[in-house]
Amino acid sequence: MSIITLSSVSKIYSEKTARKTVALENINLEVNEGEFLAISGPSGSGKTTLLNMIGGLDSPSNGRIILNNKDITTLKENALSHIRLHQIGFIFQAYNLIPVLTALENMEYILMLQRIKKEERQARVKDVAFRLGIDDLLDKRPSEMSGGQQQRVAIARAIVSKPKLILADEPTANLDSKTGEILLDLMRELNEEHAMTFIFATHDSSVIKKAKRHVSLLDGMVKDDQAK
């Protein structure tokens, strides 16, 4: 069953000087529930732009994006926020945890936004923290953690609300290869156990190797789309 469908999606950045930059051109892509998909390509190929479009962080210049049978290109910002809160988990290259909150609070934060009761919140946070091996870091703030630890917390934050879709932009780029490998295995397990859909934008060959499907972009267009 399709979770995302992109139909003729293009993104053109118009500068005031009338110079146009085509970031994505006529992208057609369908992603099914439970996929573990890597989108790769050289810098400037449009990977991150595509991921941002799918997550409703940016809007396409042309085309439609259907997420869970809903056309998100026509939605206003508040409705998009609602979708991001309840259906999508984000993992960023730079972790992007809220610096004034502890690891526990960063994880619990999304659940609070979802107005989930305290008991359930704490149970879910503890469960995910244990699963990701960060139960000893819960009282620490991001500045007190290593990159790998922060990325684990970022993954925990993305999955704790049990979203259908996880979008990960270069999640291993700032990590050493061993830590990256461990986290990838972890995400793969989550994908298999909970049928969460993962879409990665990546340069990392180890991510591509572990992906079940690989889409490569070049100059804003799909060059190749292979299921393994």
Partner 1 sequence: MNSLMVILAFRNLARNRVRTTMVIAMIASSLTLLMYFQGFMDGIIEQMTKDTVRSETSDITIYGKKYRKEKDLNNRLTHKKYVLKKLSYLDSIEEHFERLEHDAMIASPYYSQGIKVIGLESEKEKDDFILSTRIKEGDYSFPNENAIWIGHALAEKLGTGIQRKLVLTVQDSKGEIIGEAFRVTAIIQTNNPKIDRASAFISLTKAQALFNVPDITQLSIKIHDQKRLREVRDTIQDEIGNHYEVFTWRQLFPSLQFMETATQSYIKISYVIMFIIMMIGFVGVIMMSIMERVREFGIMMAIGHKFKQVSLIVFWESLMMSFLGFLIGTTLGFGLLYIVNQTGVNLNIFGQGFEQFGIASIIYPPMKIAYCFTPLLAVIITSILSIIWPLRILYKLKPIQSIQFN
Restricting to residues 68-87, name those near partner 1 by CB under 8 A. Answer: 77-78, 81-82, 84-86
Least gap, CB of 113 to partner 1 (angstroms): 5
The Cβ of residue 11 has, within 10 Å, a number of other Cβ atoms equal to 22
Q: Is residue 198 at the binding interface for partner 1, with CB under 8 A as the rule?
A: no
Q: Is residue 207 at the binding interface for partner 1, with CB under 8 A as the rule?
A: no
The binder of partner 1 chosen from 90, 149, 172, 187 (CB under 8 A): 90
Q: Is residue 200 at the binding interface for partner 1, with CB under 8 A as the rule?
A: no
Least gap, CB of 167 to partner 1 (angstroms): 10
Name the residue type at position 26: N
Restricting to residues 100-129, name those near partner 1 by CB under 8 A. Answer: 100-101, 109-110, 112-115
Q: Is residue 58 at the binding interface for partner 1, with CB under 8 A as the rule?
A: yes
The binder of partner 1 chosen from 7, 59, 61, 68 (CB under 8 A): 59
78, 85 contact by CB (below 8 A): no
What does the alpha-carbon distance between residue 200 and residue 119 come to, in Å, rounded to a whole number?
Answer: 32
- Binding flags for partner 1, 29-48, as an x/- string (CB under 8 A): --------------------
Least gap, CB of 39 to partner 1 (angstroms): 17
State both tokens at 65.
């994006």
Restricting to residues 129-188, name those near partner 1 by CB under 8 A. Answer: 157
Q: Which is nearer to partner 1, 77 or 119 (CB)?
A: 77
Q: Which of 154, 228, 162 is nearest to 197 (CA)?
A: 162
Least gap, CB of 81 to partner 1 (angstroms): 5
State both tokens at 195.
């049928």
Q: Which of 159, 153, 34 is nearest to 89 (CA)?
A: 159
Beta-strand pair 213-218/221-227:
antiparallel
Beta-strand pair 197-202/165-169:
parallel
Q: Which is nearer to partner 1, 49 or 214 (CB)?
A: 49
Number of residues that bind partner 1 (CB under 8 A): 26
Helix (H) or strand (E) holding 58: none
194, 34 contact by CB (below 8 A): no
Backbone angles phi, psi at 111, to 5 degrees: -65, -35
The Cβ of residue 85 has, within 10 Å, a number of other Cβ atoms equal to 14
Which residues are at the interface with partner 1 (CB under 8 A)?
52, 55, 57-59, 77-78, 81-82, 84-86, 90, 92, 96, 98-101, 109-110, 112-115, 157
